[in-house]
Structure 1
């Protein structure tokens, strides 16, 4: 259906799962809702049409699972505007989907991160890399699944990369975060409603270790230092359902790389078979909403 605001087609108490595609994660969330006898409805984010100023849809809450960063923000913005509780809020989505905004939020919370320098144009990217030092990691301001990441070892390589970025069409693609390259173990911690639920390490021969790119997920114990840092990082961007990405060095130091608002949790679940991530998310949503 096209969920036009005020449309009588949805029943009070229904949880809408707004998604671009029904993957394993969305199926798990729908199953968790069903086991709790909560009515649910799948809404394709591309089908949404709403009238500004119209009454709210009769949804208890929305799980925003949109794959598109642009639509993800607009779904959450619409829900917040009409008073439908949504995970995650538009403020959190906006912070997490912009690496510059995330960097500022983590810095305000005094969360340890690799040294980060921002360049607002490709012409100044070389200077940003020089400030960080080599090797440096060049990141697009927007993006996920490790796309657009590059590790550069010297100024000449950096200038070549930034010259290519200057040819990109979108102004936002010419903004860049340059981070210090910190060797270490790649970790992901899921934080739901302010509490760390589970963690994993991602192992790969490549330095980019996203599970979506083929890395192997293995369990990681949630010790006190990891819990404290992950929960503080999640709070820094407004809380909700969040994936905190960290690096753990050989001497035990932890650095936060990113906080993700569009959490894929298949790998985390496989690494932690005793933890139901979908149940944790749904229980949090139901605690925070009223039928």
Structure 2
């Protein structure tokens, strides 16, 4: 019986979120084991492990993508799916999916080489934000206010060793409230506003989470954005201007949620995720 096999929590480290998930599985008496993604080895053609499902929380975007690829290919239910992880692992793929779904987003331009980076920035105008195509936690973001600053940042990235780091992803700078909505299985669960003095307000960079009301408009935007990238357990990041306009910035496939859970103590966030995982493997 599939239900007798353990759910496997693949995670690089046991952070607050992983502890919450493991405890929620324990309370339900659902077998769950932790496996460090750095320890995984699979011989192609070998038998699949006897796992009920994989909850993929690898920190590395590269390994996270390959975890979903590998175990989905073996016929195991993986959360999130390979399609979702592929879309969320690249800001280019994510932006294209959001645009295809007709979702509002800041003006965005992409250049495939640093030599064309200036033209990409010109497409969105100043001030602009230059972002790494692959990355999280607000790392590597640069707000540029003029051509000289843009050239300096692009020139620096052109010296990076990886071809991915040389790609230019330029986005219009939008000033507004920084909102994160957790969407699980197509349903918006809760939202927070991330407050801070700096324009980058990720909680990993010191942003302070506080509860945000999930009104119907915010709920619709977040759920549509989650659907656009393939669905699953997702963090949808939005900005809301003083005029009330809302823009979807990106969708995170490896969502951290300790700040959101702390801001909403009445919502059993980990249990909502586990309900979704178990519902997809019953």
Pairwise same-fold verdict (TM > 0.5): yes
Does residue 162 (structure 1) correspond to residue 154 (structure 2)? The answer is: yes
**Retained in 2: the 8 A contact 1:19–1:66?**
yes
- TM-score norm. by structure 1 comes to 0.95
- How far the C-alpha of 1:156 sits from its partner, in A, is 1.3
1:83-123 CA distance string (max 9 Å, x none): 11011011111110100000100011001000000011111
Q: Hey, what does 2:41 align to over in structure 1?
A: 49
For residues 95-110 of structure 1, what are the structure 2 equivalents within 5 Å? 95-110=87-102
Does residue 137 (structure 1) correspond to residue 129 (structure 2)? The answer is: yes
Does residue 175 (structure 1) correspond to residue 167 (structure 2)? The answer is: yes
CA distance in 1, matches of 2:80, 2:212: 25
- How far the C-alpha of 1:135 sits from its partner, in A, is 0.2
- How far the C-alpha of 1:164 sits from its partner, in A, is 0.8
Q: Hey, what does 1:29 align to over in structure 2?
A: 21
| Helix, strand or coil at the partner of 1:244 | strand
1:55-109 CA distance string (max 9 Å, x none): 2111110100100111101111111100110110111111101000001000110
| Helix, strand or coil at the partner of 1:278 | helix
Aligned mate of 2:258, from 258, 266, 272: 266
CA RMSD, 1 decimal = 1.1
Aligned mate of 2:236, from 220, 240, 244: 244
**Retained in 2: the 8 A contact 1:117–1:177?**
yes
Runs of 4+ in 1 over 3 A off after TM superposition: none
1:109-146 CA distance string (max 9 Å, x none): 00100000001111111111111110000011000001
**Retained in 2: the 8 A contact 1:136–1:152?**
yes
Gaps of 5+ in 2: none
- How far the C-alpha of 1:13 sits from its partner, in A, is 2.1
- How far the C-alpha of 1:11 sits from its partner, in A, is 9.3
CA distance in 1, matches of 2:45, 2:281: 23
CA distance in 2, matches of 1:211, 1:75: 26
CA distance in 1, matches of 2:16, 2:139: 22
CA distance in 2, matches of 1:127, 1:181: 16
CA distance in 2, matches of 1:157, 1:18: 41
**Retained in 1: the 8 A contact 2:154–2:168?**
no
Q: Hey, what does 1:197 align to over in structure 2?
A: 189
Aligned length in residues: 281
- How far the C-alpha of 1:230 sits from its partner, in A, is 0.1
CA distance in 2, matches of 1:23, 1:160: 36
- How far the C-alpha of 1:251 sits from its partner, in A, is 1.3
CA distance in 2, matches of 1:289, 1:176: 40
**Retained in 1: the 8 A contact 2:110–2:167?**
yes
Q: Hey, what does 1:6 align to over in structure 2?
A: none
- TM-score norm. by structure 2 comes to 0.98
Q: Hey, what does 2:206 align to over in structure 1?
A: 214
- How far the C-alpha of 1:12 sits from its partner, in A, is 3.9
